């Protein structure tokens, strides 16, 4: 029953993982909407800027991004706390992938909806806020759910910039006890439990968004 | 048309509309008097929808001139495909409403919000004013009891009646109907036509209707225009067109649709 003694330390790490993941998802979702809407609605300059952001962060290694923000950026005088760096880099990752989700969902709203909005003389802003986004968000939710879980798993990389998250704690305990099987099994269970909670929360959000029978044909079960 | 003291509300003068290499309207001339109820009939692809869509500013046109209540659709210094600023297009749109073949209700809004939303967001009415207006219109189309339903919970005929109420809520001078009953099951067509028939009695409302319901066209229109290949081939009173068409293409078309 040696593994029981790992639990307090692992639980502390899990809290850090949860906090970093949730903060990254929250900030990243905002970035995703800003960049995704900019791609669809922005003028040429704005949408190109958003495209560059998306492709830059999708096209480079997350681990290298972490190192760059943690080790390279301070060389030009900008430095953050490790945790802030982890949240920032993960959020930029969520924003880049999420902007594609937002863009795709906005593009999937039928042209007839735009025409109906135009026939009612809605302006561009009102069309976006009241007609297209509410419909698109429903389409985005499953993909955002996947992205959230992916972010949770990727958050283990922050252990490499000395943040004491779940993975970091597991490593330390293993180095001390050499009980690889016990420590890593517990760690897997920890991540899995957190994913389950995330999945459940996303389901609830989805159900809430489809309330009122506005969209009775659920896109998936 | 007979000579008339009132100037036309809508005037197409030599309008040409192309989709790439395809010329859909070629030097198109067409006038509609205020309050007139005009039906457009003709074979598929003859450009009937295109005329309505140009009027609704859903499609730009390349040449010629189009005016509504004396307002030019294109501005002298206008840019972009419409040769007009968004503000100018919105001025024009404020006079025009459209009912689509596929209803195009907003699926995420209740019936009440579908009707009341644009008056709130676009006209700046208070929510209470807009909902009072919406209730009157839902009464007109016989759907007050469905006000809290969502479009997916309504039959096609009911959805189209909501769409008509939604368009009317903006108080347009011109209401365009593009095959409003074509997507409906036969037994639901009647309820939608009944609503449009009532509107046809509105003296001030100008109506342009594209339909394949010939009996109905005959009943409600002041004038019927037969379209062929992007031109009005023949037009006149419903009696004249349906009982004594003079153009061979009209005869042929009517024979094919009346069976
Ligand atoms: N967006 C578009 N791009 C290219 N061609 C188009 C487009 N919209 C319409 N057309 C073409 O323009 C022509 C006229 O179309 P329109 O929809 O006005 O015909 P219609 O008289 O309404 O026919 P229907 O009775 O089938 O609705 C057709 O040949 C059609 O294929
Ligand atoms: Mg058509």
Question: What residues make up the domain containing A33?
Answer: 14-220
Averaged pLDDT of chain B? 95
All domains of chain B, ordered by start, with CATH?
10-258 (3.40.50.300)
pLDDT at A221: 32
State how beta strands B63-68 and B174-178 pair: unpaired
B46 touches ligand 1 (CB under 6 Å): yes
Average pLDDT over every residue of B132-160: 96
Q: Is the pLDDT of residue B240 over 70?
A: yes
User: What is the pTM assigned to this prediction?
Assistant: 0.89
List the helix and strand counts (H, then E) for chain B. Answer: 9, 10
Helix or strand (DSSP H, E) at B11: strand B10-19
> Where does the pLDDT of residue B20 fall: very low under 50, low under 70, confident under 90, or very high at 90 and above?
very high
Number of domains in chain A: 1
Considering the domain boundaries, does residue A5 fall inside one? no
Considering the domain boundaries, does residue A4 fall inside one? no
> Where does the pLDDT of residue B257 fall: very low under 50, low under 70, confident under 90, or very high at 90 and above?
confident
Going by C-alpha positions, the residue among B116, B127, B208 that lies closest to residue B168 is B116
B44 touches ligand 1 (CB under 6 Å): yes
Counting as low any pLDDT under 70, the low residues of chain A are: 1, 212-221
Considering the domain boundaries, does residue A58 fall inside one? yes
Average pLDDT over every residue of B201-210: 95
Q: Is the pLDDT of residue B1 over 70?
A: no
> Tens digit of pLDDT for each residue in A113-127?
999 999 999 999 999
Considering the domain boundaries, does residue A61 fall inside one? yes
pLDDT at A209: 84
ipTM strictly over 0.90? Answer: yes
**d(CA A204, ligand 2 centre) in Å:** 42
Question: Please, what sign has the CA dihedral across residues B80, B82, B88, B91?
Answer: negative
Question: Please, what sign has the CA dihedral across residues A109, A113, A118, A121?
Answer: negative
To probe the interface with B, which of A43, A109, A119, A206 has the most B CB atoms within 10 Å? A119
- Residue A156 to residue A175: CA distance in whole angstroms: 17
CA of B95 vs chain A CAs: smallest distance (Å):
10
Instruction: Write the secondary structure of A57-120 as one string of H (helix), E (strand) and C (coil).
Output: HHCCCHHHHHHHHHHHHHHHCCCCCHHHHHHHHHHHHHHHHHHHHHHHHHHHCCHHHHHHHHHC
Considering the domain boundaries, does residue A114 fall inside one? yes
CA terminus-to-terminus distance, chain B: 29
Considering the domain boundaries, does residue A190 fall inside one? yes
pLDDT at A2: 81
Q: What's the CATH code of the domain at A193?
A: 1.10.3720.10
> Where does the pLDDT of residue B215 fall: very low under 50, low under 70, confident under 90, or very high at 90 and above?
very high
**Taking the CB of residue B179, how many other CB atoms lie within 10 A of it?**
19
Considering the domain boundaries, does residue A9 fall inside one? no
> Tens digit of pLDDT for each residue in B103-117?
999 999 999 999 999
């Amino acid at each position: 029953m040696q593994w029981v003694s790992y639990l307090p330390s692992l639980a502390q790490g899990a809290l850090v993982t949860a906090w970093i993941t949730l903060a990254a998802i929250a900030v990243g979702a905002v970035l995703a909407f800003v960049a995704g809407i900019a791609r669809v609605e922005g003028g040429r300059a704005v949408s190109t800027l958003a495209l560059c952001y998306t492709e830059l962060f999708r096209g480079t290694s997350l681990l290298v991004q972490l190192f760059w923000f943690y080790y390279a950026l301070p060389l030009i005088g900008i430095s953050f706390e490790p945790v802030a760096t982890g949240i920032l880099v993960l959020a930029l990752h969520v924003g880049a992938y999420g902007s594609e989700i937002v863009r795709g969902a906005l593009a999937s709203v039928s042209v007839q909806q735009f025409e109906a909005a135009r026939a009612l003389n809605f302006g561009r802003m009102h069309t976006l806020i009241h007609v297209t986004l509410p419909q698109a968000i429903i389409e985005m939710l499953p993909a955002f759910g996947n992205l959230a879980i992916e972010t949770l798993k990727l958050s283990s990389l922050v252990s490499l910039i000395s943040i004491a998250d779940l993975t970091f704690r597991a490593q330390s305990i293993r180095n001390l006890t050499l009980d690889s099987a016990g420590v890593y099994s517990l760690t897997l269970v920890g991540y899995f439990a957190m994913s389950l909670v995330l999945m459940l929360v996303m389901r609830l959000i989805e159900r809430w968004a489809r309330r009122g029978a506005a969209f009775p044909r659920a896109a998936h079960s | 048309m007979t000579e008339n003291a009132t100037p036309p509300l809508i005037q197409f003068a030599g309008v040409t509309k192309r989709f790439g290499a395809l010329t859909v309207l070629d030097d198109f001339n067409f006038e509609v008097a205020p309050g007139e109820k005009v039906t457009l009939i003709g074979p598929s692809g003859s450009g009937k929808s295109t005329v309505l869509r140009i009027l609704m500013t859903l499609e730009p046109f390349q040449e010629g001139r189009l005016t509504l209540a004396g307002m030019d659709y294109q501005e002298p210094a206008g840019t972009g495909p419409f040769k007009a600023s968004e503000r100018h297009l919105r001025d024009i749109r404020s006079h025009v409403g459209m009912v689509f073949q596929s209803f195009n209700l907003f699926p995420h809004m209740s019936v009440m919000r579908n009707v009341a939303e644009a008056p709130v967001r676009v006209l700046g009415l208070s929510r209470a004013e807009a909902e009072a207006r919406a209730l009157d219109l839902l009464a007109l189309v016989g759907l007050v009891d469905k006000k809290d339903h969502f479009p997916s919970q309504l039959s096609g005929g009911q959805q189209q009646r909501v769409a008509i109420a939604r368009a009317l809520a903006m108080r347009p001078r011109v209401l365009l109907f593009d095959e409003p009953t074509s997507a409906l099951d036969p037994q639901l067509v009647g309820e939608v036509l009944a609503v449009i028939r009532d509107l046809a009695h509105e003296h001030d409302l100008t109506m342009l209707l594209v339909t394949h319901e010939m009996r109905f066209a005959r009943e409600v229109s002041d004038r019927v225009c037969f379209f062929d290949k992007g031109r009005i081939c023949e037009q006149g009173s419903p009696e004249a067109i349906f009982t004594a068409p003079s153009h061979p293409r009209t005869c042929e078309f009517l024979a094919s649709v009346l069976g």
